[in-house]
Amino acid sequence: MTSGINFNYKVILKLSLKAKVKKKINHLFDWVKGSELVELKSCNTEEDPVRPELDVVFRRSYGRKIYAVKYRKEICAIMCFGFTNDIPKTINELDLMTRDAYLMSAQRDQNIGKIAIAYTIWSKKKGGGKLIVKEVFKMIKKSNHLNRLITLSPLTKMARNFHLNNGAKELQVNQETQNFEYTI
C-alpha cells in the first residue's frame, strides 16, 4: 500500500515540477507576443557582431534600412537590409546594387528593388534573432514589390546554423560570404 502512495506522490511531484518549468519557459518568452517590428533611424553599430564597421549613414542610404523588434521600449533584435534586384556576394556589391536599385526606383514607382538582402542581424534578448527573421518575413510577404529574402552572411558556422535552423536554404558560398534564402 505504501508503494502505491509513494508512486502517486512521485507522479504528482513530477507533474508539478513539469508545470512549474513550463510556466517559467512561457513567462520567459511572454515578450515575444507583445513585440513589434519597427524601422530605426539609428542604432549602435558597435553592438553589431557581424559588421560593426558599417556606419549608420551606410545602413540608411540608398534604400538601405534598419529594422528592430521592439518590446515595450526595449530593442530586442536588429536586422539591416539593402534592397536590390540581384544577389550580392560582397558588401561592395551590395552597396553598388542598392544604389542602382534606388536610382531605378526614382524613375519608376518608388519601390526599391525586388530582393531584400539581410546583411547583418543581432539579438539583444534570447529568441530575438529568430523572432526578427519571422517578423521581417511577414513584412516582405505583405509588400507589393519584394519577392525574395536573401542573406549576405559571413562565412561562419554560427551564421550557417542560424539560417538553416530558421528555415533558410543555402544558395551559394562565396569567397567572403554565403547567401541563404528564406522562401516567400
pTM of the model: 0.79
Phi/psi-derived region of residue 62, left when phi > 0, alpha when psi is between -120 and 50, beta in every other case? left
pLDDT for the residue numbered 33: 63
Q: Facing residues of 37 across strands?
A: 69
Buried b (16+ CB within 10 A) or exposed e, 83-119: bbebbbbebebbbebbbbbbeebeeeeeebbebbbbb
The DSSP output letter for 184 is -
One digit per residue, the tens of pLDDT, for the chain of length 184 reads 555 556 566 666 665 666 555 555 454 445 456 689 999 999 999 999 999 999 999 999 998 999 999 988 899 999 999 999 999 999 999 999 999 999 988 766 667 889 999 999 999 988 898 899 889 989 988 988 899 999 999 999 999 999 999 999 999 999 999 999 998 7
* Nearest of 109, 62, 114 to residue 85 by alpha carbon: 114
